[in-house]
């Protein structure tokens, strides 16, 4: 026969006598539980002292729920009365406070086992003193096991709820701190206060790391940056503020950790310059999307010239149209070859052998093309000012390899 089908025959007056005796024993019962815990779990004994009113209430509710089950038998959860629901809530709140005090859940569940043994000792002793029938003892024993399990579950639920709430609150405070640092509208006192709330030690420097939210793997990038980083979550970019990137080897380690990722890594900046770092990183991310920057990851410090030159695409396109006007009327194939040669000549600082090597053509072909370029551009190729304009228009118009 199942537990739910078993008939209980514990008279109400017996239950009332038990309740009276056990209520009287409750202070001694709690002291015994505390003393047993103090030897092996002094922190938890301290928890009992600190939250004694709540623990005492939980003990009384436990005993009364125990006696109610002994009298009426196990009842479906939906049919249990308000006192049982109150007991569940109290044990859930104990779990929440346990997390707030920084204690392990396993300690709490162990304490319940200890408490159940002590409670059963007092229940059994009281039942024997009152000369209760064996079936009453059996009913009480079953109720002890049921309630220890149910109230342990309630406390574990409260513990996890509080843990989740604390984690969400901490993450929210970290996001708020990140936005404050990137806003450029906060003073040192505001930043210090927000950092204290977020539990984030203020570093001497930090870097902005951004990933493209359209990239399905970008979310995983945040996981590689560690808990010391502050999350950045915006519609156009996700990423993090990573502290102490300027310390020995940190930037290299960060780059290695993000190898192959579609991200940009800003250089180390003081905290007051992080808004500037964010704007630069956003520009770099846009240029990476457009194919101007192709590294994975892009190191902003190594690409600042390209970022500066391409930060305004409209201006650069106007400059390019202006300085390349001598090539405009040539056939497309010829124009492309001369464009390529002029670009390489500028990049290789006039070294014809290097141009031939880069373009995989004969040095004589280089000589011929350069002669044609001089016909088209004239003295402009000898002007430092014009060469600088050509360099700006040509060198950064597509991805290129860096020396070394």
Q: Which helix (H) or strand (E) holds 333?
A: helix 332-347
Q: How far apart are CA 383 and CA 398, in angstroms?
A: 24
List the chain pLDDT tens, one digit each, 404 residues: 344 444 445 566 777 787 788 788 888 877 887 787 777 667 666 777 777 777 777 777 777 777 776 666 555 444 455 666 777 888 888 889 888 888 888 888 888 888 788 878 888 888 888 777 787 778 778 777 787 888 899 999 999 999 999 888 988 999 999 999 999 887 889 999 999 999 999 999 999 999 988 777 766 777 778 778 999 988 878 899 999 998 888 899 999 988 888 899 999 999 999 999 999 999 999 999 888 888 889 999 999 888 888 888 888 888 889 999 999 999 999 999 999 999 999 999 999 999 999 999 999 999 999 999 999 999 999 999 999 999 988 887 555 444 43
Q: Three-state DSSP class for 373?
A: helix
Q: How far apart are CA 278 and CA 219, in angstroms?
A: 18
Q: What are phi and psi of 163, to 5 degrees?
A: -60, -45
CATH code for the domain of 26: 1.10.490.10
Let me know if residue 297 belongs to a domain: yes
pTM: 0.65
Query: 216 and 353 in one domain?
Result: no
Neighbours of 189 (CB within 10 A): 8
Select from 105, 139, 165 the last residue of a domain: 165
What is the per-residue pLDDT for 129?
82
Close Cβ partners of 171 (under 8 Å, ≥ 6 residues apart): 231
Query: 257 and 289 in one domain?
Result: yes
Query: 321 and 301 in one domain?
Result: no
Query: 156 and 88 in one domain?
Result: yes
Let me know if residue 53 belongs to a domain: yes
Query: 93 and 221 in one domain?
Result: no
Query: 143 and 45 in one domain?
Result: yes
Query: 113 and 128 in one domain?
Result: yes
What is the per-residue pLDDT for 237?
81
What is the per-residue pLDDT for 148?
82
Query: 354 and 306 in one domain?
Result: no
Q: How far apart are CA 337 and CA 333, in angstroms?
A: 6
Q: How far apart are CA 315 and CA 389, in angstroms?
A: 12
Query: 153 and 252 in one domain?
Result: no
Let me know if residue 183 belongs to a domain: no
Query: 90 and 32 in one domain?
Result: yes
Q: Given phi > 0 = left and psi -120 to 50 = alpha, else beta, which region is 332? A: alpha
* Pair 83, 61: CB distance under 8 Å: yes
Query: 347 and 290 in one domain?
Result: no
Let me know if residue 340 belongs to a domain: yes
Query: 221 and 266 in one domain?
Result: yes
Domain that holds residue 289: 203-310
Let me know if residue 25 belongs to a domain: yes
């Amino acid at each position: 026969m199942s537990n739910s089908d078993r008939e209980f025959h514990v008279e109400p007056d017996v239950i009332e006598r038990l309740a009276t005796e056990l209520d009287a024993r409750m202070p001694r019962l709690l002291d015994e539980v505390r003393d047993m815990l103090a030897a092996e779990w002094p922190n938890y004994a301290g928890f009992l002292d600190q939250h004694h009113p709540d623990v005492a209430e939980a003990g009384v509710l436990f005993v009364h729920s125990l006696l109610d089950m002994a009298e009426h038998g196990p009842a479906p959860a939906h049919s249990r009365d308000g006192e049982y629901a109150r007991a569940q809530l109290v044990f859930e709140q104990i779990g929440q406070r346990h997390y707030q005090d920084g204690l392990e859940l396993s300690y709490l569940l162990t304490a319940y086992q200890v408490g159940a043994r002590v409670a059963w000792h007092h229940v059994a002793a009281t039942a024997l003193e009152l000369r209760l029938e064996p079936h009453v003892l059996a009913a009480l024993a079953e109720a002890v096991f049921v309630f220890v399990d149910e109230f342990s579950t309630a406390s574990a639920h409260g513990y996890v709820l509080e843990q989740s709430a604390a984690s969400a609150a901490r993450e929210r405070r970290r996001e708020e701190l990140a936005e404050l640092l990137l806003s450029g509208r906060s003073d040192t006192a505001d930043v210090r206060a927000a950092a204290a709330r977020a539990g984030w030690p203020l570093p001497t420097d930090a870097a902005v790391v951004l990933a493209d939210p359209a990239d399905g793997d970008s979310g995983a990038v945040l996981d590689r940056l560690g808990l010391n980083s502050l999350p950045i979550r915006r519609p156009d970019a996700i990423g993090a503020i990573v502290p102490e990137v300027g310390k020995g080897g940190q930037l290299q380690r960060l780059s290695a950790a993000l190898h192959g990722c579609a991200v940009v890594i800003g250089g180390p900046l003081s905290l007051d310059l992080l808004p500037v770092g964010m704007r630069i990183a956003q520009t770099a991310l846009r240029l990476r999307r457009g194919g101007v920057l192709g590294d994975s990851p892009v190191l902003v410090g190594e690409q600042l010239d390209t970022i500066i030159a391409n930060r305004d695409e409209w201006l650069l396109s106007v400059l390019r149209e202006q300085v390349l006007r001598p090539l405009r009327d040539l056939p497309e194939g010829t124009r492309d070859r001369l464009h390529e040669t002029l670009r390489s000549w500028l990049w290789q600082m006039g070294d014809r052998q290097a141009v031939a090597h880069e373009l995989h053509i004969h040095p004589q072909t280089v000589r011929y093309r350069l002669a044609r370029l001089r016909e088209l551009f004239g003295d402009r190729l000898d002007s430092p000012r014009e060469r600088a304009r050509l360099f700006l228009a040509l060198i950064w118009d597509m991805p290129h390899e860096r020396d070394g």
